[in-house]
Amino acid sequence: MRRCSWVCLPSPPILVCLLCLALAFRPKHQPPRRTHGGISDTMASEGLQLLAFTLALSGASGGLTATLLPNWKVNVDVGSNILTAMVRLQGLWMDCTWYSTGMFSCTLKYSILALPTHVQAARAAMVLACVLSALGLCTSVVGMKCTHLGGDRHTKRQASLAAGVFFLCAGFASFVPTVWYTKEIVANFLDLTIPESNKYEPGGALYVGFISAMLLFSSGIIFCTSCTGRNPEAWLSAHEQQHIWATQPEGRSAYHLKDYV
């Protein structure tokens, strides 16, 4: 085991990602299509996709943060007095200890086979969730209606559906390890054979992972449903044609029939 006195977790390059995404977006100059509420269909669809992309970006950042954080479970040992109190944190990649004197030390987990089964599964699932989230973000940029990429509308719908599937899978991959890890913590806490000093409680990383999974689920549902809508131009043309035939006078139709006879 290698010990380090201080650990600085790498932060995701959110600014670089946002800069690259800003270059792909453009304002759309399209004739408005009015709905019952007076808002165009295109603006409503683009707004939903932007909301879904924001949720997905937040969920992906939260999933990466939860994967790296060392506080998946926490144990607070006060001891005989406040001067000997310490907080023990255990994560997927390292175990850390914080002392009341201000010292903070972490131990990296190098051996994979020595870890419990639920920790190994949580590692694999969270890494898979991060990869699927990244693929979903890249695909959603292509499938969004307010970007240069993607080509025609059919291609954008396929990319939007693929992004929704990626986000749903990423949310499921992030949801399963958080629930399983919480179940193990609760089972050990309720076990009477385990000493009180070895019992842990759920840490903040579990809550971050669970919320990130919900955000990814919501984003995936929005992207999947946004690509299944009917073509608004075809619907409007069919609706206008039915309206013309319904408002046409009967005498005019009979007059045209006499001409042909």
User: Each residue of 192-212: pLDDT tens digit?
Assistant: 888 888 889 999 999 999 999
pTM above 0.75, yes or no: no
Closest to 164 in 3D by CA, of 81, 207, 121, 226: 226
Closest to 206 in 3D by CA, of 171, 181, 234, 186: 181
Question: Could you report the per-residue pLDDT of 36-93, keeping only the tens digit for each?
Answer: 444 455 666 777 888 999 999 999 999 999 999 999 999 887 666 666 678 899 999 9
Quick check: 82 and 100 in contact, CB under 8 A? yes
Question: Could you report the per-residue pLDDT of 197-250, keeping only the tens digit for each?
Answer: 888 999 999 999 999 999 999 999 999 888 765 444 443 444 444 544 444 444
Closest to 178 in 3D by CA, of 154, 144, 212, 221: 212
Q: How far apart are CA 92 and CA 126, in angstroms?
A: 10
Question: Tokens 């607070």 sit at which residue?
Answer: 76
- Give mean pLDDT, residues 121-150: 89
Give strand pairing partners of 4.
106
- Comparing 2-6, 178-182, 218-222, 248-252, the range with the smallest average pLDDT is 2-6
Residue 218's CB is within 10 A of a number of other CB atoms, namely 18
Q: How far apart are CA 169 and CA 143, in angstroms?
A: 18
Q: At what angle do helices 117-143 and 14-24 cross, to 10 degrees?
A: 30
Q: Is the pLDDT of residue 261 over 50?
A: no
